[in-house]
Structure 1
Amino acid sequence: MSPTAIIAGEGVLPGLLCASLAGQDIVLAELEGFPASLPGKSAERFRIERLVPFLDRLRELGVGRICFAGAVRRPRLEPEMFDPRTAQLVPRLLAAMRSGDDAALRAVIGIFEEWGFEVVGAGDIAPDLVPGAGVLAGTVTDADARDADRAAEIVAALGAVDVGQGAVVAQGLCLAVEALPGTDAMLDFVAQTGAALRPDPKGARGVFYKAPKPGQDRRIDLPALGPETLRRAAKAGLAGIAWEASGALLLGREEMVAEAERLGLFLWAREP
C-alpha cells in the first residue's frame, strides 16, 4: 500500500491520525510556520510559494493519498519566493481565497487531485473520531432540543455565507456566533456576557452547536470538538454541546465523555 501523507497543522488531530495509521507508511508534512508538534517524528516542510516542488516531492516519496489535519491560518505570501510553476497557480488560488475559506480549501483539494493524489478526510482514516447520531453523555431536555434546533438554523445561515460553523443559543436567543476569532473566543464572550442576556435566570442554560457549512467538502476543515471546548462551555454556563451527527470530529472521545459527565454537560450528536 502506498504511503499516506498527513498534511499536519496545529492541535492533536495529526497525532491521532498517525496513531490510527500505526504500522503503515506515513509521510508527515507541515506548512512552514505551523509546526505539527509531534515529538520524534520528522516532517517534510513546505511553503505555499513552492507548492509544486512539494507536490513533486510527495510523488517522489510514492504517496497515494493525502489527509489534511489540524489548524492553520492563512500564511503571508512572499511573492519573490514563488517558483515559475507555482506562480502559474497564483491567479487561481487568489481568486478562490477572495471567495472565502471554503472556496480556498476546495481549490487546494483540486490542485492535489490534479497531481494524482486521493484526498481523504480524517474520518476516512479514523472513523471513531466522527460519531453518528446519539447522546454520548448527559441528558438533553426538550428546551435544550429547541435551542439546538434554533442554533442549527443559525449555523446553516452562517455557513451559507462562509462565516462560521458554530453558534450559542439559550432560551431561543442567539447569544453568540462563531466568526474569524474562533470557537474559544465565542465561548469566552458568552462566559462574560451570557448571564445578562438570558431573560430567565432559571430557564434553559443554552447549547453550543457546531456543524459543517452547507455544501462543504467534508474531507477538509471538518468542525472539531475537544475537552477544552467542554471546559469553556461549562464556564459559559451552558447545558451542553450539540453537533451535526457525522459532521464533526470528536478529539479524544473517552476523555470528552468523562469530562462531560464530571462537568454535568451533555454531548449530543444531533440528527440533521
Structure 2
Amino acid sequence: MSGPGRLALVVGSGDLVPQAIAAARDAGWEVRVLALHPREDLAAEQPFQIKVSRPDQVLREIRRFKATHVCAVGAMHMSDRERESFAQFAGEQQPESKGDGKLSQLGSALLRMLGLPFIGVHEIVADLLAPEGPFGAVPIEGDLLRTAEFAVSTARKAGALDLGQALVVAGGRVIATEDIGGTDELLMRCRVYRDRGLIGDGHGYIVLGKTSKPDQPLHIDLPAVGIRTVELAREAGISAIAIEAGRTLVIGRAEMVAAADAAGIALIGFAIPNG
C-alpha cells in the first residue's frame, strides 16, 4: 500500500471502529467518517450519515472529500429494501441473491465507479488477522480438533449459499447457523438449546466455526471475533472457536485470548483456500 492520503472510512457498528479511526490518524491519514448507523460515540467526528437508499449521495460525499482511498470497518446491517436499492444502483438487475456476499461484490462495484482503491482495515490496524494453528493456552486435539475442522469446513459450505459466516456444530452435526441476527444471536440461541438439554451432556464437543465466504474480497466484510464472542461462547457451553486463518479479524486479541483461556475455550485458525 502506498503512503497515507485522504481516507474515506465507511463505518458500521462494533468496537473496532474508534480503534480504526485513531490508528488511521496516527498513521498520518486525513479521515472522513461516513456512518451506516447512528453512533453517539462518533459525534465528534461529525460523520456523514449514509442512506443506503441513496448511494449516489455517498459517492458524492467521497468525491467532495477528495478521498484517495476507501476503507470499510464494523458490522453493516441493511434492511431488505435497502439491499434492493443498493443492488439496483450498482446495476444488478438479476433476481438472484442480495445476501451479504452479493452486497460485498456490489460494494466493490460502487468503488469501481469512483476509481479509488479499497483497503482493508487490517492494513490500518496491525495484528488483526487470525494466525494459523492454536493461539490460546487451551489444547486442541483428538475429537475436539476433528470437530473444529468439521466446523470450519462446513461454515465455508454454508457461506457458498450466502448464508451467515458462522455456524455451531456438536460432534459431527450442525446444530445452528448464523442468520440475519449475526453471530451473537447464533450463540444466544445455542445457550437456549443447551439450557433445554438439546446440546451438550454427551452430545459431543460444541464448536463455533467462522469463515469468510468463497471468493470474498479481503477488504470487505471479513468475519470477526472478539471478547464478546468468547463471553457468549462460554455461556453456550462451547469448547472451541475455530476460525479461518488470515481472513478473520481478531479484535482485541490479548483480551480475547485471556478470556478464552480463563473459560477453557480452545482457539484455532485454519488455512482455507479462498474459492
TM over 0.5: yes
Query: Which residue of the partner structure matches residue 236 of structure 1?
Result: 236
In the alignment, does 2:8 pair up with 1:9?
no
Could you say if the C-alpha distance between residues 52 and 103 of structure 1 is closer, same or farther in structure 2, counting changes exceeding 3 Å? same
Could you say if the C-alpha distance between residues 270 and 10 of structure 1 is closer, same or farther in structure 2, counting changes exceeding 3 Å? same
- Please give the secondary structure, in 1, of the residue aligned with 2:213: coil
> Of residues 71, 79, 91 in structure 2, which corresponds to 1:67?
71
> For residue 243 of structure 1, what is the amino acid of its counterpart?
I
Alignment check: 8 A CA contact 1:17 1:126 kept:
yes
Alignment check: 8 A CA contact 2:55 2:86 kept:
no
Query: Which residue of the partner structure matches residue 160 of structure 1?
Result: 160
Which has the higher mean CA deviation after the structures are superposed, 86-95 or 183-192?
86-95
Query: Which residue of the partner structure matches residue 116 of structure 2?
Result: 117
Which structure 1 residue ranges, 5 or more long, are not aligned?
79-85
Query: Which residue of the partner structure matches residue 99 of structure 2?
Result: 100
- RMSD of aligned Cα (Å): 2.6
> For residue 18 of structure 1, what is the amino acid of its counterpart?
I
Which has the higher mean CA deviation after the structures are superposed, 203-212 or 229-238?
203-212
Could you say if the C-alpha distance between residues 238 and 107 of structure 1 is closer, same or farther in structure 2, counting changes exceeding 3 Å? same
> For residue 42 of structure 1, what is the amino acid of its counterpart?
Q
Alignment check: 8 A CA contact 1:2 1:62 kept:
no
| Counterpart mapping for 1:209-224 below 5 A | 209-224=209-224
CA offset at residue 91 of structure 1? 7.0
Which has the higher mean CA deviation after the structures are superposed, 127-136 or 139-148?
127-136
In the alignment, does 2:187 pair up with 1:187?
yes
| Counterpart mapping for 1:9-28 below 5 A | 9-23=12-26, 24=28, 25-28=30-33
Distance (Å, rounded) in 2 between the aligned partners of 1:131 and 1:39: 31
Which structure 2 residue ranges, 5 or more long, are not aligned?
none
Alignment check: 8 A CA contact 1:96 1:107 kept:
no
Distance (Å, rounded) in 2 between the aligned partners of 1:16 and 1:106: 26
- Please give the secondary structure, in 1, of the residue aligned with 2:144: helix
Query: Which residue of the partner structure matches residue 35 of structure 2?
Result: 30
Distance (Å, rounded) in 2 between the aligned partners of 1:76 and 1:37: 27
Distance (Å, rounded) in 2 between the aligned partners of 1:222 and 1:88: 20
- Please give the secondary structure, in 1, of the residue aligned with 2:91: helix
Distance (Å, rounded) in 2 between the aligned partners of 1:36 and 1:3: 24
Distance (Å, rounded) in 1 between the aligned partners of 2:69 and 2:11: 14
Alignment check: 8 A CA contact 2:87 2:98 kept:
no
> For residue 54 of structure 1, what is the amino acid of its counterpart?
V
Could you say if the C-alpha distance between residues 34 and 77 of structure 1 is closer, same or farther in structure 2, counting changes exceeding 3 Å? farther
Could you say if the C-alpha distance between residues 38 and 254 of structure 1 is closer, same or farther in structure 2, counting changes exceeding 3 Å? farther
Could you say if the C-alpha distance between residues 91 and 64 of structure 1 is closer, same or farther in structure 2, counting changes exceeding 3 Å? closer
- Please give the secondary structure, in 2, of the residue aligned with 1:258: helix
Per-residue deviation, residues 149-185 of structure 1 (Å, max 9, x unmatched): 2112321221111011111122222221112222122
